[in-house]
Structure 1
Amino acid sequence: MNTTLFTQKSINKPTLKRTLLMSMIAMSMGGMGVSAQAQTAQNSQQEIEQLRQEVQALRALVEQQQKQTATLNTAVQTQQAAAASAKPVMKLASGAEFNLYGNVRADASYQAEGGSSARMYNQINTVPLEGVGERSDEFKSTLSATRLGMDFKAPVGAGDKALSGKIEVDFLGGDKFDNLRIRHAYMSYANWLIGQTWSNFAVPDYLPETVDALAYAGGSIKRTPQVRYTSTFSPATNLVLAVEDPKDATITGIKQRLPALTARLNHKFADNLSVSARAMGNEKRVKEDEEMAWGVGLGAKYEVVPGTTLKADYYHVKGDSSFVTYANKGVVADITDNLYQSEFDSISVGITQQFNDKLRGTLGYGYMSFDQDAGYIDALSADDKTKTNKDLWQAWANVFYSPTKPLSFGLEYVYGERKALEAATNGSDTGVDNRINAVAIYNF
């Protein structure tokens, strides 16, 4: 018999029971181990997923906080910029508000050829004819264009309507431009304005920019006492009607019985194109004779591309020398008191380029042409004929540099000529304006 074999008889029953019990325990413990490992893996996966969700939530919270911080910084910067640019406001117990502003302005000019040393600014219509007392190689400077102004607003009656207005002065009054004068002094309520401000007919909105404090040939910067009413048809269109006192002081013995009537229609075709059509009528009286002066104007402003702007302004006027600067006398009387009227066309055009937020430049041209009415010419004295013009023109180029918001510096070259009705005794009928202008301005 093989001794390696066991027979049923060789194993007793207690031993067999123990062996089977041990096997069952081992198998049970093995199964429990596998189950525990599976449960542990599942728990680990859940913890990883929960951790991932928490990380995503934290990331979203951080991004939200960053956006809120950026928004807050932008708001603070905007408020700081607004505070820096805002003018000081004084408030009274009555609710009235006063806003002070102005500038200190220093002008300088080197005049290669031109007119009177007593006048700092443009005088193209009166520059001496060549060889007849013209001045050359002359330096001039002044602070007369320094300006001080105050805007005001006060509640009136019930509701939210307010009376507003402006008072503004500079020192360009008098023949030598060194006396205090009123530029603007008016009050406005709802659609009405009463006081002195830009003429409704000769507006400066469409004039190319100049360093010279006065307009060049072809333009006007007229301010008049007036009563004005504005009617708004739509956000893009309005009509402005006014009665104005043009104070035509160029005509000896003139009397004014009625104010001038002016009308201006403004329309904005698009964000980059606006136009203005204007009309004027004004009675002129010398002694007991009278003539009706009239005029039309058309201005346009067009932003070709962002930073590049074209401006143009045109006038046709008969019998008036008060609204458009540098015009001949509007009417003259002969020895029998017959009245004769001057008539002219004028235009100014220019392009301004904004190179960056600190630097801009302008090229401009202005021209005036006067009709040659025989009766008008015959009524002039011999001296007046050399002082009265056939035409005027000026061209200019300038740059402005603003290193910071309150400061601005400008440099400009201008050349122009006037052609007189008759030549002087030396045969010259042309006067020349040839200058370099500079300006420094501090706004407050």
Structure 2
Amino acid sequence: MRLKTALPAAMVITSFACSAQANLLETTNVKFSGYIKADAMFSSYSDGTLAAGSIGRDFYIPSLTPTGGAEESTQFDAHIKQSRFRFTSDTALANGEKITGVLEFDFHVTDGGDERISSSYIPRIRHAFIKYDNWLIGQTWSTFQDVRALPESVDFIGVTDGTIFARQMMVRYTSGNFEIAAENPESTISNYQAGGRIVSDDSSFPDITARYTFQGDWGHFAVAGLARQLTYINKQGGADIDTSETSVGLSLTAKFKLGADDIRIMANTGKGLGRYLGLNAANGAILNENNELETIDSSGFTVAYRHIWSETLRSNFMYSSFSADNDMSLNGSIDPIKSTSSARVNLMYSPTKELTFGGEYAYAKKELESGSDGTLGRIQLTAKYAF
């Protein structure tokens, strides 16, 4: 009797689950997209080299250009780490609204991978968010960043020096052309006494970002702002540090259409921008002799021109720069980055919209406050299939 009673119950539960799943599939569309990208690079450094496994050998990171060393022979690297895959789901709700979910992965900046035998790489999450009505909740591009102003580059970012670049958890509200968000905080701090970088997550408040975009047939122009709290607390080992400082930033970005061509511009400046600008080429603040934070001012600028040669051939000409205003009386033996800059040009060939072959030459320079500097010259080739 127990067996006979349990069997119909199980069948009812299974039937209900299948019915619910069927109803969900009837109202949900799922899309799989992404691309496969293979890159090969020839890199020459004037003052040193990057060790095997350094992420600076995978894509351009301004702070990693070697300085003060001896010139070595050209390094060759090849990988597929920029390849990515993306799942997007759209569900029609009973109230007439729609909810969207996005989950995207690539293979950059992970600990896995061994080029000796298998060249296996661990996937990492790039984006994971939901959108409902005017709200976005999850991890995606910072509202302080204008992705549409980024030029087409063979390198992972390209105009890295002067670019605001951050993906993080947030809650964002959008109304027309206006966006405002509360985003995950993190502080990077120079240590006056010991040197090196302190990464602190002691902030009591989220980073507040906002952007307004003007757009038309001519392109778009955006104004973005950042306000955040830089905080460092350390009560360990007899230390008594509890200090905060306010950080603010301004970003002006644009893409102007010139017939089939276009020009893209970014200008970024602020006190304590730190990790937001140039892939953290400078820290947000420095811990002075009184164990108090003082913000580091920094600025960045980029300009890029895209020219269409034909239906299948195009080029991008790019320049980017970064500078930091370091108070050397607070730096002790630290020799921080004063400026970085890079210029690059590429040729992109797309026989179809899904397939692109490209080549790019880049020249970059980094200068420290001491006057020590170093340069990078890189030729990068790529093949990309987008689906």
Q: TM-score range by the shorter chain?
A: 0.7 to 0.9
What is the distance in 2 between the residues matched to 1:410 and 1:221? 23
Q: Find 1:231's aligned residue among 175, 179, 182.
A: 175
Greater fraction strand:
2
2:31 is matched with 99
Summarize the Cα distance change of 1:102–1:253 in structure 2 as closer, same or farther, 3 Å threshold. closer
Q: Deviations over 1:83-115 (max 9, x none)?
A: xxxxxxx99534111000111111110002263
CA deviations on 1:126-149 (whole Å, 9 max, x unpaired) are 2111425x6541100111111011
Amino acid at match of 2:108: L
- Corresponding residue for residue 263 of structure 1: 210
Asked if 1 retains the 8 angstrom alpha-carbon contact of 2:188 and 2:198, the reply is yes
* Equivalent AA in structure 2 for residue 162 of structure 1: K
Higher relative contact order (CA 8 A, sep 6+): 2
Structure 1: tracts of 5 or more residues without a match: 1-89, 233-237, 424-428
Q: CA deviation at 1:257?
A: 1.3
- Given that 2:275 and 2:282 are in contact with CA atoms closer than 8 Å, whether structure 1 keeps it comes out as no
Following superposition, the deviation at residue 278 of structure 1 comes to 0.4
**Cα RMSD for the two superposed structures:** 2.1
1:303 matched to 2:239? The reply is: no
Separation in 2, partners of 1:189, 1:208: 29
8 Å contact from structure 2 (residues 129, 139) kept in 1: yes
TM-superposed CA distance for 1:325, in Å, is 2.4
Instruction: Work out the CA distance in 2 between the residues paired with 1:175 and 1:329.
Output: 24
Q: Is the Cα contact below 8 Å between 1:227 and 1:244 reproduced in 2?
A: yes
Q: CA deviation at 1:175?
A: 6.0
Task: State the structure with more CA Rg.
Answer: 1
**Which residue identity does 1:414 align to in structure 2?**
A
> Displacement of 1:246 after TM fit?
4.3
The CA deviation string for residues 296-355 of structure 1, in whole angstroms up to 9 with x for no partner, is 000011112x21100000100211312122430111113430212110111000100122
Which residue in the other structure is 1:59 paired with? none
- Which amino acid in the other structure matches residue 105 of structure 2? V
1:440 aligned onto 2:383: yes
Structure 1 segment 5-404 matched on structure 2, within 5 A:
93-113=25-45, 115-118=50-53, 119=55, 120-131=58-69, 135-159=72-96, 161-174=97-110, 178-215=121-158, 216-232=160-176, 238-248=177-187, 251-252=197-198, 254=200, 255-268=202-215, 270-287=216-233, 288-304=242-258, 306-326=259-279, 327-373=281-327, 377-382=328-333, 384-385=334-335, 388-404=336-352
Taking the aligned partners of 1:227 and 1:283, their CA distance within structure 2 comes to 17
Report the AA paired with residue 227 of structure 2.
G
Query: What is the percentage of aligned positions where both structures have the same residue?
Result: 27
The whole-number CA distance in structure 2 between the counterparts of 1:125 and 1:353 is: 30
**C-alpha distance in 2, partners of 1:436/1:338?**
44
Provide the residue aligned with 1:416 in structure 2: 364
Residue 209 of structure 1: how far off its partner (Å): 2.0
Report if aligned partners of 1:106, 1:441 keep a CA contact under 8 Å in 2. Answer: yes
CA distance in 2 between partners of 1:408 and 1:357 (Å): 12
Structure 2: give runs of 5+ residues left out of the alignment: 1-21, 114-120, 190-196, 234-241
Matched residue count: 335
Take 1:129 and 1:227, find their aligned partners in 2: how far apart are those partners? Answer: 40
Amino acid at match of 2:264: K
CA positional deviation for 1:405: 2.5
Between the aligned partners of 1:281 and 1:389, the Cα distance in structure 2 is 24
Deviations for 1:267-288, whole angstroms, at most 9, x for unmatched residues?
Answer: 11x3023100000001011121
